[in-house]
Amino acid sequence: MNYRHAFHAGNFADVLKHVVLALIVRHLNGKPAPWSYLDTHAGCGIYDLAGEQAERTGEWRNGVGRLDGRNLGKAAEAILAPWREVLARVAADHPGARLYPGSPEIVRRMARRDDRLRLCEMHPKDSAALSDAMGRDRRVKVVEIDGWTALGAWLPPRERRGLVLIDPPFEEPGELGRMAEAFSRAYRVWPTGVYALWRPIKDPAETRPFLEALRASGATKLLRIDLLVREPSDPKILSGSGLVVANPPWTLESDLRSGLPEVARALSQGPGAQVVVESIGAA
Ligand SMILES: C[S@@+](CC[C@H](N)C(=O)[O-])C[C@H]1O[C@@H](n2cnc3c(N)ncnc32)[C@H](O)[C@@H]1O
């Protein structure tokens, strides 16, 4: 396990993932019944963008750094709003620091009294950092466990509503296929949960088989959300990222169609920056 998210925190791929995550949690908060959140690959929770690891790559400058202090217009700001709100609260709580909240901290900040977070992180150092970041919050359980195992064992949650984020590091070949298989198994056990599956976009040829494998799960409501910051012409380079959301909130597709193109323009690193938002569920 060589991957450390601290080098990549706040990059353009994190922006897409976390903006969509915050929109989903806002939707879950629209009903009073408690929800559960499972983060299979949770990372450290909070990242120091002025720290050595983040500064070494500087990736955040082409991500959250591009959006800070800018107003992108009404439709884009509407989809950014829940995420920006969390960022503002983190900044207000840590004046003078330049911290970026990862998925666990975004969800924790948005959770209500009876909502519940279960966070899996296998790297011992990152798991310890995550426990520190989550503090003594009784709604949160941090477990140093294989997220794929947790996905097979912990669903459905007792709340019977909630969200699963599957966000592996893609260090090993075949991770997309593994993700599709793991999703299919989880979906069979809990077909009404919301699932968000993150993937890097390097080689566009990988997209079709992955989406076909997800459709084969039988899921009827699947929303594909891709954001490319440049033409994906070199399969060795991360040119974009995508999320597939199963059982998405019903306004997510139209909201993203309206707001995401402007975000992609702000994050563009060359010709070919674009967005795909489409329903791809099995007929
Ligand atoms: C992409 S990062 C997670 C980022 C985080 N979800 C966020 O959005 O802020 C992936 C994390 O998964 C961890 N990891 C790798 N293999 C794992 C496994 N089998 N189970 C749980 N965590 C794992 C890595 O240590 C890394 O911190």
- For the chain, the average pLDDT equals 97
Q: Quote the CATH superfamily of domain 5-279.
A: Vaccinia Virus protein VP39 (3.40.50.150)
Residue 37: strand, helix, or coil: strand
* 3-state SS class at 166: strand
Please say if the pLDDT value at position 53 is more than 90: yes
pLDDT higher than threshold 80 for residue 165: yes
Q: How far apart are CA 138 and CA 249, in angstroms?
A: 27
Residues marked as catalytic: 167
Q: HEC profile for 197-251?
A: EEEEECCHHHHHHHHHHHHCCCCCCEEEEEEECCCCCCCCCCCEEEEEEECCCCC
Separation of CA 168 and ligand 1 centre (Å): 5
Ligand 1 centroid vs 32 CA: distance in angstroms?
30
Closest Cα to residue 204, out of 181, 234, 224?
234
Q: What is the pLDDT of residue 49?
A: 97
Confidence of residue 281 (pLDDT cuts 50, 70, 90): confident
Cβ atoms of residues 194 and 245 within 8 Å: yes
The per-residue pLDDT for range 88-144, each reduced to its tens digit, is 999 999 999 999 999 999 999 999 999 999 999 999 999 999 999 999 999 999 999
If pLDDT is split at 50, 70 and 90, which confidence band does 76 have? very high
pLDDT digits (tens, 9 = 90+) for 40-50: 999 999 999 99
Contact 46, 124 (CB under 8 A): no
Q: What is the mean pLDDT of residues 80-84?
A: 98
Residue nearest to atom 9 of ligand 1 (CA): 102
**Element housing 1 (H / E):** none
Q: Secondary structure of 14-34 in the HEC alphabet?
A: HHHHHHHHHHHHHHHCCCCCC
Calculate the CA 160 to chain-centre distance. Answer: 21
CA atoms of 17 and 218, how far apart (whole Å): 24
Minimum CA distance residue for ligand 1 atom 12: 41
Helix (H, G, I), strand (E, B) or coil at 94: coil
pLDDT value of residue 282: 74
Decide: 43 in ligand 1 pocket, CB within 6 A.
yes
Indicate whether 1 pLDDT > 90: no
User: Residues 183, 60: contact at Cβ < 8 Å?
Assistant: no
41 touches ligand 1 (CB under 6 Å)? yes
Local confidence band at 183 (pLDDT 50, 70, 90 cut-offs): very high
pLDDT in tens, 214-257: 999 999 999 999 999 999 999 999 999 999 999 999 999 999 99
11 lines ligand 1 (CB under 6 A): no
Interval between CA 219 and ligand 1 midpoint (Å): 25
Question: Is residue 148 lining ligand 1, measured as CB closer than 6 Å?
Answer: yes
Strand partners, 199: 242
Residue 105 in contact with ligand 1 by CB distance below 6 A: no
169 CB less than 6 Å from ligand 1? yes
Q: 95 C-alpha vs ligand 1 centroid, how far in Å?
A: 28
Nearest 5°: the CA angle 236, 242, 246 is 145
pLDDT value at position 176?
A: 96
Report phi then psi at 197, rounded to 5. -115, 120
Query: Which residue owns the Cα nearest ligand 1 atom 3?
Result: 43
Measure the CA–CA gap between 124 and 126, rounded to whole angstroms: 6
Q: How far is the CA of 71 from the centre of ligand 1 (A)?
A: 31
Q: Rounded to two decimals, what is the model's pTM?
A: 0.98
